[in-house]
Structure 1
Amino acid sequence: MLANFDFDVIQRSWVYLFTTGMKFTLTLTFFAMLGGIVFGTLLAMMRLSHNKAIGFVAASYVNLIRSIPLILVIFWFYFLVPYIGAWVTGASEPIRVGAFSSALITFVLFEAAYYCEIMRSGIQSIPRGQVAAGYAIGMNYWQMMGNVVLPQAFRNMIPILLTQTIVLFQDVSLVYVLGSVPDFVSVASKIAQRDGRLVEMYLFVAVVYFAMSFGLSLLVKKLQEKVAIIR
């Protein structure tokens, strides 16, 4: 097998793969992580709200999103959002939504459900005595959350948040099915089909994803040990 393995196609293409495909993948991962954590934190606070209606809405959203395969969510947003936008704005034609914007919205809304559960666990890990003390010195809900609860929750949950981000990085490869986004897998696939070297390119993609994910996992493990020492 190795006798017919063409290393030259990898050597010719790896710079383009990283400067175009991996750049897109990492950019989408980064912004989806930021948006997902922000939206997920808001959902977590809604789920923990004493208002049952707000808690029910947040819980329903989280349970619905976590029950749907990500690939379906990608298709729905990519093909339906232009029509939904036209219906909302009253436009006569579907509103054009770029592939990157559509993918970003999809991943933010999808990953927020998972970040929500992580942040909810982090918030609930803070001793209730600290919350009571915050109220006792005159803080309102938002001051107490912003100054007492959330900083500690984020610190405690950083390793788990980063682990979920590694999963997000791997999931971004699913935008390949749209065929119109220059992510790492899509770019590698086009090169593979052009040169007739599917084995070489897909094996290279697998090695790159493994190396990056495994390396990041080791960093998260070390960070988790440091957080445990701080505790």
Structure 2
Amino acid sequence: MGSWLDFSIISKNLTYFFIGSYPHGHLGGVALTLILAVSSCVLSFFGGLILGLLSISHIRAIRYPTIAIINAIRGVPLLMVIFFMYFLLPGVLGHSVPEVNTVIAALTFFTSAYMAQIVRAGIESIPKGQMEAAISTGLHPWQAMFYIILPQGLRNMVPSFVNQFVSLIKDTSLAFIVGVSELTHVATQINNRSMIYPAEIFLFISVIYFVICYAFTSLSRWLERRLSWHKSIG
């Protein structure tokens, strides 16, 4: 029986915690967690941008269904979205889908709804007079949106995007439920092999999650200060 808080199990499996069985097997651990988070964040940025723009459309047939979709997604737990993607995607596509792609699709689908709210709030934070002034110069409304309103709004959205990315990193831990070998799944595998160091193992991955999330939270605060400084001198 191992001694209390014996972290030798961590040092023996350190490489496995960070990259899984790669290069002799599948990539996993911290590396796969970051890949899931970054891929989903990039895709959900564009998904949220599209949904956010559609949710403020003046065409009711577009705006109302989009808002309904966003609210429906936000009202469902992420775990259920992962299950939906895991079981429904193969049937829709007609072939099996790798678990990693399933999780990326679920995280993208789920996070896009939250990104859409950030986009909507960022655009609505810009005074309406700017849109009216841009249109009065001869610009089409969509030109005014993309060249005048959206660039200003995106600057206001950056800190919120980073915070959402931090939340997304923690959400990747739910990928273990469908067998994706990210950090939590790797920790569970090591714990199942040893059976006597659960406190040490899960304390260690908690520290890893904290370090990653704290780094990006600090980045968010730095961006907020930088953007506030540029706005004050602008």
Aligned to 1:159: 159
Matches within 5 A, 1:7-156: 7-19=7-19, 20-86=28-94, 95-156=95-156
Shift of 1:3: 4.2
Matched residues in 1 for 2:45 and 2:212: separation? 22
Determine helix, strand or coil for the equivalent of 1:4.
Answer: coil
Unaligned segments of structure 2, at least 5 residues: 20-27
Indicate yes or no: 2:201 matched with 1:194. Answer: no
- TM-score w.r.t. the length of structure 2 is 0.90
Shift of 1:189: 1.0
Shift of 1:4: 2.4
Q: Aligned AA for 1:209?
A: Y
- Over 3 Å off, 4+ runs: none
- TM-score w.r.t. the length of structure 1 is 0.91
Q: Aligned AA for 2:34?
A: L
Matched residues in 1 for 2:79 and 2:12: separation? 31
Aligned to 1:91: none
Matched residues in 2 for 1:79 and 1:6: separation? 40
Unaligned segments of structure 1, at least 5 residues: 87-94
Aligned to 1:225: 225
Matched residues in 2 for 1:4 and 1:105: separation? 41
The structure in which a higher percent of residues are helix is 1
Q: Aligned AA for 1:185?
A: T
Aligned to 1:210: 210
Q: Aligned AA for 2:78?
A: L
Matched residues in 2 for 1:59 and 1:99: separation? 29
Matched residues in 2 for 1:198 and 1:3: separation? 12
Shift of 1:18: 1.2
Matched residues in 1 for 2:54 and 2:219: separation? 32
Matched residues in 1 for 2:89 and 2:210: separation? 33
Q: CA RMSD in A?
A: 1.4
Shift of 1:192: 1.3
The size of the alignment, in residue pairs, is 221
Aligned to 2:182: 183
Counterpart contact for 2:131–2:141, Cα < 8 Å: no
Q: Aligned AA for 2:165?
A: T
